[in-house]
Structure formats: structure tokens, C-alpha cells
Amino acid sequence: MGSLKTLSGGLLLGLCLTLLGWGAEGQWDGHPKKEISGSGPINLGQQQRGTWWPLMQTRENLTEVKSIKSMFQFRTFDPEGVVFYGDTREGEDWFVLILRNGLPEMQIGKADILVSVQGGPKLNDGKWHLVEISSQGDFVVLEVDGQKALVVGLKSKETMEVLTGQIRLALGGILVSVDKLFLPFQPEMDGCIQKGNWLNLSTPWETELIGEPWPCYQNIQPGSYFPGAGLAAFNTTDLPGHQTEEGGITIDIHGDSTKMEGTVLSLNTPGQELPTVTVKINNNPKKVILTILKSDAITEQSFSRLSLTLLKNQVNMDIDDTHLTFEIDSIPDFPRSWKEGMILAFGGLPGDGVSYSSIQYLKGCLEKIQVQGQDVDLDRALYKDLSVSSHSCPSEV
Ligand SMILES: *[C@@H]1O[C@H](CO)[C@@H](O)[C@H](O)[C@H]1NC(C)=O
Ligand SMILES: *[C@@H]1O[C@H](CO)[C@@H](O)[C@H](O)[C@H]1NC(C)=O
Ligand SMILES: *[C@@H]1O[C@H](CO)[C@@H](O)[C@H](O)[C@H]1NC(C)=O
């Protein structure tokens, strides 16, 4: 319980500080908006967790719209999230392009029709793809890299040609309420857009972003990136559980430990002041530190894969091919506590006031995080700091 309070407290504090920062710049007027270029690059990953509101939006009188096509380049490793939204009649007619399982999906609401279509190539391969969306009569057409990916026809006695009013476009969110969607989705998208051309309009876009827009990394690789400023935390009841008590719970971390510094993970039991288990990496000099309550176990090794197995009163750690076992009477019955709900954090210790004043956030890339052999998606965390990118790490090549 205490941990959850701290987590949301941390989130609020973070928000307040950024708002204060804005105020100091003298631009805070209760509803700050600023102009941003629609041609990009635009990093869609800079959205607060759980937000449906777009990162940026624009509107234009329909009488000004001469082109029927929007096109942009898009790059992501994220399998799910919202990319591009458009509507007319203030959201009466709308469409949204999202990814689900890496595939493009369009949902369209028009008059009494609600449509969802999915198909085309998987887009979440970390490469730039040219995406084009056009409205051609009764059809909406999605093209990817010059090939038709989806064509949706819509007809109803109630649809009418809309020639007046405004068209709104949005990136990284939607402007209709979530309950209008055909199928809900996880809105967060760790992706980048560049070279956007939106109906050939030159109207500026607006954003409520606080601070400077984030750049897009030149090159990315799959993984979760922790820049040393925050963590992501799960309630273990939201993660896969144990099949057998003897098998315990396994947490796997893949990545190059020589390029990490700080806390890789920590596991906290509610009501306990000390974290139950933490794994930290130091590279100067090189060591991996496993702490179980007050006991440290230090190995002077680097790894590309670290595996922790939590058993009843026992913790096993495998670093590449080295196997270590720790049995401590005072540690909890992990399989049981896991089912009851512990906090598993990646990239730091969920702070608890003074006792964690030297919180050592992780700086580095966790190329893969698995629990019980299943990939862990930080977009589904109980809490994720804005600085953490859930599906991409900067890479040198
Ligand atoms: C849109 O139309 C309204 C009224 O018809 C007009 O006042 C406004 O200036 C127009 N906006 C643009 C961007 O053309
Ligand atoms: C796009 O806009 C430019 C100038 O703003 C214009 O020269 C060009 O013809 C337009 N293209 C289309 C397809 O409307
Ligand atoms: C974790 O989830 C369990 C079960 O839903 C709940 O009882 C517990 O309060 C949660 N713990 C935290 C810290 O959110």
C-alpha cells in the first residue's frame, strides 16, 4: 500500500515540478499551447502514461482542403498504440490509425457506421515506413511503402458529403471519447514520425507539450531504455504467476551490462521498508550486486543475460553461465507473496522518502525483459516514468 502511494506521489510531484518549470518561463496561462511543426520529426513516445489526448493537433476549414491525402514516415518497435487521427463535424465522423500486434488497424465511425479493419504488413520492425492515407469517394485507403495495405468502403443512407465546417487532425491520441471506439487499445506509442504532409496544408499544429519536444534517435534497437531519470513498476499480480512452487518465478533481463549503470530491478513487499531483492550494476569497477534484504552478494562479472529465480525462501541468480544460489530464512515465500502482490520495479527503487534518498536509477538499455518466459511490456506498467521508452533504445548503428 505504502509503495503505491509513493508511486503516485512521485508522479504528481514530477508533474508539479514540470508545471512549475513552465511557470518560470512565464508562459503558463492555465492552458498553454504552442505551435509545433507538423513535418517532424515527432517523437510520439513523450506522452504521459494512460493519456488518450493527442500529442498535437491541427484544424482547418474544409473549404481550404484541396488534397485528400496525408503521408508521413513512421518508425517503431512498439506493437500497439495510436498513430494518427482525423475527424470532421467535431468528431461526429472520425477515423483513427493504430497498430495492434504490429499490424496497421483503422477504425472509422461515420454516421451510423462503425468499422474496424486490420491488415497489411507489420510495421513495428524499427525501420522507416512510408504511410499514406487518403479518402477517395466512399473509400478510405491506407498505403504502406507504396503498396495498398487496406481499403475500406463505407456507405450508408445517412452518410452525407461534408463540405463545410472543419477537419481536425491529431497525432498520438484521439479527439473522440474512448467509448466511441470499435475496439479499445493501449494508446501509448513509442514511435517516431517524420516528413509529414497533412492534406498538403501549411497550417501550424498545436501542442500542449510542456518543455521542448523530444528528438527522435537517429538509430534505434529493440528494448526498454532508461536514461537514468525514472523507473517502471508493476504489481506482480498483473504479471504471469508461477505454475508450480518448485519452479518458482523467473525474471530474465537481456542486455549488455557493460553499458548499464544503476538499479536494474527491485522487488518490494508491501509493508516492508527494505526492498526484498535488488539487482544493481556498477561498471567502475565492474560488478553486479544482488541484495536480498540486508545481505549483498557481489560478482565481478558482466553479462548479456541475467536470470533471477524466486523460490520459497531461496533466490537463484544466473549470470550468463554462472549459477548462484542464496538461501535466507528471513526472505518471504516468494511464490506466495508474488500472488498476493509485490511491486516489481525496473530501472530503480520505488522511493520511500528519506531511506531511498540515493535512488540509483538505471542508465542503459534492457534489450528484453521477461517474466516466466513472457515479454514484459512497460506500456502496461502500474507506473512508468515519462523518461523511460518502453520499446526502443538508442543504438550506435
Ligand atoms: C475558417 O472559416 C471561418 C469562418 O468561415 C473564418 O473566420 C476563419 O478565418 C477560417 N479559418 C481559416 C484558417 O481559413
Ligand atoms: C500542395 O501545396 C503546394 C503549395 O502549398 C502547391 O504548390 C501544390 O500544388 C499542392 N499540391 C497538391 C496536390 O494540392
Ligand atoms: C496489487 O494487486 C493486488 C490484487 O489486485 C491488490 O490487492 C494490491 O493492493 C495491489 N498492490 C499495490 C501496491 O497496488
Cα 310 to Cα 247: distance, rounded to the nearest angstrom: 9
Q: Is residue 17 part of a domain?
A: no
- Kindly state whether residues 230 and 191 are assigned to the same domain: no
- Kindly state whether residues 364 and 277 are assigned to the same domain: yes
Cα 132 to Cα 8: distance, rounded to the nearest angstrom: 39
Cβ of residue 296 lying under 6 Å from some atom of ligand 1 = no
Cα 325 to Cα 335: distance, rounded to the nearest angstrom: 17
Cβ of residue 90 lying under 6 Å from some atom of ligand 1 = no
Distance 1 CA to ligand 3 centre (A): 8
- Kindly state whether residues 130 and 92 are assigned to the same domain: yes
Domain boundary pick from 182, 209, 236: 209
Residue reference for cell 514520425: 193
Distance 62 CA to ligand 1 centre (A): 10
Cβ of residue 341 lying under 6 Å from some atom of ligand 3 = yes
**Residue 6, pLDDT score:** 36
- Kindly state whether residues 139 and 69 are assigned to the same domain: yes
- Kindly state whether residues 298 and 183 are assigned to the same domain: no
Q: Is residue 355 part of a domain?
A: yes
**Residue 351, pLDDT score:** 65
Q: Which atom of ligand 2 is nearest to the CA of 202?
A: 5
Of all protein residues, whose CA lies closest to atom 6 belonging to ligand 2?
A: 200
**Residue 31, pLDDT score:** 55
Of all protein residues, whose CA lies closest to atom 5 belonging to ligand 3?
A: 237
Q: Is residue 25 part of a domain?
A: no
- Kindly state whether residues 230 and 114 are assigned to the same domain: no
- Kindly state whether residues 204 and 229 are assigned to the same domain: no
Residue 234: give the domain boundaries. Answer: 224-394
**Residue 29, pLDDT score:** 43
Cβ of residue 63 lying under 6 Å from some atom of ligand 1 = no
Distance 342 CA to ligand 3 centre (A): 8
- Kindly state whether residues 387 and 324 are assigned to the same domain: yes
Cβ of residue 337 lying under 6 Å from some atom of ligand 3 = no
Q: Is residue 4 part of a domain?
A: no
Query: pLDDT per residue over 309-359, tens digit each?
Result: 999 889 999 998 889 898 887 777 888 999 999 999 999 988 654 433 346
Cell readout for 193 is: 514520425
Query: pLDDT per residue over 223-242, tens digit each?
Result: 999 999 889 999 999 999 87
Cβ of residue 64 lying under 6 Å from some atom of ligand 1 = yes
Q: Which of 167, 180, 153 is nearest to 69 (CA)?
A: 167
Residue reference for cell 483513427: 96
- Kindly state whether residues 196 and 264 are assigned to the same domain: no
- Kindly state whether residues 43 and 190 are assigned to the same domain: yes
**CATH code at 288?**
2.60.120.200
> What's the whole-number average pLDDT of the chain?
86
Q: Give the number of other Cβ atoms within 10 Å of residue 180's Cβ.
A: 14
**Residue 11, pLDDT score:** 35
Pocket test for ligand 1, best of 35, 60, 61 (most atoms within 8 A of CB): 61
Distance 178 CA to ligand 1 centre (A): 29
Q: Is residue 259 part of a domain?
A: yes
- Kindly state whether residues 229 and 378 are assigned to the same domain: yes
Regions of the chain short of the pLDDT cut 50: 1-30, 353-358
**C-alpha distance across the termini of the chain, in Å:** 43
Cβ of residue 294 lying under 6 Å from some atom of ligand 2 = no
Of all protein residues, whose CA lies closest to atom 14 belonging to ligand 1?
A: 61
**Residue 148, pLDDT score:** 96
**Residue 65, pLDDT score:** 87
Contact 188, 379 (CB under 8 A): yes
- Kindly state whether residues 193 and 279 are assigned to the same domain: no
Domain boundary pick from 209, 241, 272: 209
Q: Which atom of ligand 1 is nearest to the CA of 61?
A: 1
Q: Is residue 10 part of a domain?
A: no
Domain boundary pick from 161, 181, 209: 209
Cα 110 to Cα 118: distance, rounded to the nearest angstrom: 18
Looking at the structure of the chain, the number of domains it has is 2
From the CA of 202, the nearest ligand is 2
Q: Which atom of ligand 1 is nearest to the CA of 203?
A: 13
Q: Is residue 9 part of a domain?
A: no
Q: Is residue 3 part of a domain?
A: no
